[in-house]
Structure formats: structure tokens, C-alpha cells
Structure 1
Amino acid sequence: MTALRRRMIEDMRVRNLAANTQRAYLQYVRAYAEHFGRSPALLGPEEIRAWQLHLIEAHRSRSTLVVATAALRFLYNVTLKRHLAIEEIVMSKQPHKLPVILSPDEVTRFLDAIRSVKYRAILMTAYAAGLRISEATRLKVSDIDSQRMVLRVEQGKGHSDRYVMLSPRLLDILRSYWRLGRPQHWLFPGRFPDRPIDPSTLRRACHDARCRAGISKPITPHAMRHAFATHLLESGTDVRTIQLLLGHRSLTTTSRYLKIATSTVCATTSPFDRLPQHPITPLDSEQQPAHR
């Protein structure tokens, strides 16, 4: 391990960056150095620009470009303390796309089509409580508080704890699930009992269940969280409450669901409907086109 890599790891740990973020930053900085065959400490604004163009020409996704750029910003601004270079690291603008939302009927059909009891319980939990799939898979048995009817989400995104509602129906499902395997620590253990299930294993299960349910919309594990927020909003829950349940830091992030809550949007009266009604009449003789 080079001294620069060690220092960057220390800087990320001091700032308590998430483990996945640390791995991604190190991966992209290493790829950046290997591309030019030199230490990043010897590279500057021109190489940074050339690296970004290389990623674009290689048809890498926009999200990849954003993370790779963030990694270089951290490297030069924090670890190398080259504040003049930071202005040269332009952050690529991500297009804002609205997620595809499942209807309540589609959610029911999708969940019913999941064959694995464990996978179905995980995705039901994600929908019932609006959890990120990483949060659902890392639930512990002790996180279920049936007295207060809440689930404890420990160290979610942003290293924050929060409580979410525990649906009585979900509690019955989780109790039935627990009686089958009797997990001791992790509610949803993986291949090894001392480790939680890997979230990536659920992507294939979503694809298979979507096909069996005959749903044309794309479905990922995160679709359950989107459906949770949208369905709450459409049923009249205020945005601030949804923000707390989702664990969003900013209300702006939660407010994007206002754009996709179709029953709320479509129920709004158009100003056109408030105009005085006039019958549609044929064009008068002066406006009618001349016939040849």
C-alpha cells in the first residue's frame, strides 16, 4: 500500500464516510492512476479533464462519472490539499429522472409472485416501512419493537438512526417467517448466520417475480421504497411525515414524490374547467375558408 493510499483511507475514516463510498473512491482513484501510469500526486488539471473525457467516451454511466469525479475531488481537496486543482474538477450534471411507480395492485401481484419466503419477507418489509434495501437486509431481530409497534433502523444512510412504523400485518408476517428459521441475530441472515443477506441477491429475485407477475414496468428492490412514499402521499400523508419515515435530510428530496403522485396531481382541477362555458360553434362566414 502506498503512502498516498494509506493517507486517503485515513482521511475517509476520520470523516466517517460509508464503507461503500470508501471502496468506490479507492477504486476510481486507482483506475485514474493506472490510466496514466503515474501517481495522482504527479497529475493535474489537464489529466483530470482527460480522465473525465475518457470515461465519457467509454460510455460509462452518468452516475459512474459523478462518483469518479467525487473521488478525485476528495483526493485533491482533502488528501493532497491542492485547492487550486479543485476548481478544475467539474462535477457532471446528472439528469433528473422520475422513478417508475408500481400501483398498489402491481405491488400485490409482484410480492405474491416471489417464491422465496425470505425474499418475500424482505421486500414486504421494504414496502411496509419504506426502507432502503440495505436497511431492510441489515435489520436485527432485536430491532422489532412490538410493544411500541416500530422498527429501529440503525445507522442508515448518512450514519443516522431512525424509527419507522411497524405494520400489524407485517408483524404477523415476520413472526411466521421467524418461526420457520428462527434467526438469532440478523433477521435476514445470508449464507452464513453471522452475516446479513447480500442485497445484490434480491435483484434477480425481483426480475423473476416481475416476469411471473406479468408486469411490464422495471422493478428493483428500491422500487418498494418509491412505492411506499408515493402511496402514502396519494393517501393524504403530509410530506414532512414522509420525510421523517424515509430518513431524508432535506425536504427537497422528499418533495420529488409530489411529481409522481398521480392521484394527487390528477385530482387537481385545471383552471380551464373554471372558465365560463361557451358552446363550440362553427366558424362564421368571415372566418370560413373560401371554397374554390
Structure 2
Amino acid sequence: MGNTTQNQTVSGAKLFFKQIVKTQFDPEVLERPQREHLLPKVLSKQGVAVIITGTANLKHRTMLSLIYACGLRRSDVLGLKIEHVDSKRGLLLIHKGKGNKDRVVPISEKTITMLRNYFVAYKPVTWLFEGQKVGKPYSESSFDKVF
């Protein structure tokens, strides 16, 4: 039985004794195993290059490049507005990222060039990556379908 299943069983027993039997249950009687913390699988540089260069759509290629080059999450990329890009200083503002915190990340000159090419081709108005409707952000569901 896996660690998570064991922990759920202990929690269920505790709730059963508290709510149904109306007695306190000492969860220390049962050992709760520690959750496993697995390291994420990391792609090689070549693997990332194949994915990025294999993407024909400029918008999608630019999104992937930003994710890889700046270490962004899906929500970070979809939440980017035009004013969050400071190409002169080579910085990108991530507004209300994980933990509802703002952070600033550096952008390489190569990524800035790609962003400029994307901007010329797509002419976004508000959001850096807009959806089908002008002024609306690219949706999570569309992102998930593409990637």
C-alpha cells in the first residue's frame, strides 16, 4: 500500500472514531509514512531545442522559449502583460506568480529578439499572449491543447 493511501486510511479512521464512535482516536498508534518527494524529470538541451524548433507557430514557439529560458510556469506566461517586459534592461516582471508574489527574471537577448518578432507579427494590445479575442488573455485550455 502506498504512503498516500496509508495516510488517507489513518485520517479516515481518525474521523470515524471522532464522528461515529464519539471517542478520541490516538493517531500516534498508527505510523504515518512520509510522502515521497520525487525529483522532476528534466529534458536535455537537445530535447528542449527539438521541441521549440519543431513548433511551427510563432506564438507557441515564443511561449515555449519564455518558459524554458526564464523558468516560468504556465500561469506566469499566460499572465504576462505587455508592460511586464522591459527589453531595454532585459527583465521580465512576473506579477502575482506562485505564492501570489511578484518577481523579476532576466531575459536573454535572443529571447528578447524572439519577443520583438512575435510582437511585430501578432500586435498584442493588452496581454502579451492574447487569445482569439483582442484584449483577452490566451486561455489555459488552449495552452493545454497546444502543449
TM-score > 0.5 by shorter chain: yes
1:147 Cα deviation after fit: 2.0
Aligned partner of 1:45 among 15, 18, 22: 15
1:201 Cα deviation after fit: 2.5
Aligned residues: 125
2:102 and 2:112 map into 1 onto residues whose CA distance is 20
Match of 1:104 in 2: 45
1:194 Cα deviation after fit: 2.6
CA distances 1:153-205 after superposition (whole Å, capped 9, x unpaired): 11111111110001100000010001011001100011222321123323333
Task: Report which of the two structures shows the higher radius of gyration computed on alpha carbons.
Answer: 1
Aligned partner of 1:163 among 104, 109, 121: 104
Aligned partner of 2:63 among 122, 141, 161: 122
Give the unaligned 5+ runs of structure 1: 1-43, 50-83, 207-292
Give the unaligned 5+ runs of structure 2: 1-13
Q: What are the within-5 Å matches in structure 2 for residues 240-255 of structure 1?
A: none
Q: Do the aligned residues in 1 keep the contact of 2:90 with 2:107 (CA within 8 Å)?
A: yes
TM-score, normalisation: structure 2: 0.74
- The structure richer in helix per residue is 1
Q: 1:94 to 1:197 in 2, by over 3 A?
A: farther
Match of 2:36 in 1: 95
Amino acid at match of 1:191: Q
1:168 and 1:200 map into 2 onto residues whose CA distance is 30
Q: Do the aligned residues in 1 keep the contact of 2:94 with 2:104 (CA within 8 Å)?
A: yes
Aligned-CA RMSD value: 2.7
Q: 1:46 to 1:151 in 2, by over 3 A?
A: same
Q: 1:105 to 1:96 in 2, by over 3 A?
A: same
Match of 2:85 in 1: 144
Q: Which runs of 4+ in 1 moved over 3 A?
A: 91-94
Q: Do the aligned residues in 2 keep the contact of 1:114 with 1:205 (CA within 8 Å)?
A: no
Amino acid at match of 1:46: F
Amino acid at match of 1:196: P
Secondary structure (helix, strand or coil) at the match of 2:89 reads: coil
Q: Do the aligned residues in 1 keep the contact of 2:93 with 2:102 (CA within 8 Å)?
A: yes
Amino acid at match of 2:102: D
Amino acid at match of 1:202: F
Amino acid at match of 2:80: L
2:94 is aligned with 1:153: yes
Secondary structure (helix, strand or coil) at the match of 1:151 reads: strand
1:48 and 1:137 map into 2 onto residues whose CA distance is 44
TM-score, normalisation: structure 1: 0.39
Q: 1:98 to 1:168 in 2, by over 3 A?
A: same
Q: 1:48 to 1:105 in 2, by over 3 A?
A: farther
Match of 2:134 in 1: 193
Amino acid at match of 1:167: S
